[in-house]
Amino acid sequence: MERDLRKLNAKGLSRKEILRKLKELLDKERLNHSLGVAELAVKLAERYGYDPAKAELAGLVHDCAKCMSPAMLMKKIRDYGIELDEVEREYPPLWHAPVSAHLARREFGVEDEEILRAIRLHTTGDAEMTLLDKIIYVADYADPTRDYPESEEIREMALKDLDLAWLHTAKRKLIYVIKKEKVLIHPRTVATHNSAVKAVMGNQTMKGGKRSG
Ligand SMILES: [Fe+2]
Ligand SMILES: [Fe+2]
């Protein structure tokens, strides 16, 4: 079933029109990834009681600035007045998430703050994460077009226990940056991991498990 995304953006863009705009911004691989994230985000939204249309839109546009060069991203950061913290300034792979959130608003007319926030936080996560933040964070890592060996495992886990998949994603991301040479680790990457540990431990002590929210 095709979900109606027109009401979720101020430009009234249909899914088809959103895809057309994405094709102008992204290469084929990144477009396929975005479609994969959207598809998995819809499944997770349906499973955990979130609006699937909002999850789909967030998944589709979460990486809309990903194919820009660091120079272009920095130009957008200056033009839009996006504030980067000290660690973000040092590490260009973190630039596309805040720029994607701004482009989502400007180019795709997305005004929903939950969607914009999930896009902005999709790389690092944050100490406090909403259900949609978690859905996009996990779906981004575990989308079926990713060829990480653990992506399938996390995908299956996410449908059973979102917090556990959130923790595994956070842990993998932390290991990934630790393995890099001379790269600062963003405090939000650590905070996300610790929040996920607390959520999973909390779920384990509460019999039957707590619904993620
Ligand atoms: Fe991304
Ligand atoms: Fe992504």
Helix axes 187-205, 162-179, angle to 10 degrees: 150
Mean pLDDT, range 122-146, rounded to an integer: 96
The whole-number pLDDT of residue 146 equals 81
Mean pLDDT, range 27-53, rounded to an integer: 98
Q: How far apart are CA 156 and CA 204, in angstroms?
A: 19
Banded pLDDT at 88 (limits 50, 70, 90): very high
The whole-number pLDDT of residue 145 equals 87
The whole-number pLDDT of residue 208 equals 47
Task: Please give the distance, rounded to the nearest whole angstrom, from the Cα atom of residue 70 to the centre of ligand 2.
Answer: 16
Residue 100: nearest ligand to its CA?
1
Domains identified in the chain and CATH numbers = 6-205 (1.10.3210.10)
Instruction: Answer yes or no: is pLDDT of 59 > 50.
Output: yes
Task: Please give the distance, rounded to the nearest whole angstrom, from the Cα atom of residue 182 to the centre of ligand 2.
Answer: 23
Instruction: Answer yes or no: is pLDDT of 205 > 80.
Output: no
Mean pLDDT, range 111-129, rounded to an integer: 97
Residue 124: nearest ligand to its CA?
1
How is residue 5 written in tokens? 């995304």
Q: Residue 212 corresponds to which amino acid? A: S
Q: Which residue bears the tokens 């690092």?
A: 124
Task: Please give the distance, rounded to the nearest whole angstrom, from the Cα atom of residue 206 to the centre of ligand 2.
Answer: 33
Instruction: Answer yes or no: is pLDDT of 23 > 60.
Output: yes
User: Measuring CA to CA, how many Å separate 135 from each of 65, 76, 82, 89, 207?
Assistant: 20, 27, 24, 26, 23
The whole-number pLDDT of residue 155 equals 95
Instruction: Answer yes or no: is pLDDT of 209 > 50.
Output: no
Q: What is the largest CA-CA distance in the chain?
A: 51
Q: Each residue of 89-109: pLDDT tens digit?
A: 999 999 999 999 999 999 999
Quote the mean pLDDT of the chain: 94
Nearest to 115 by CA among 186, 201, 200, 18: 18
Mean pLDDT, range 25-52, rounded to an integer: 98
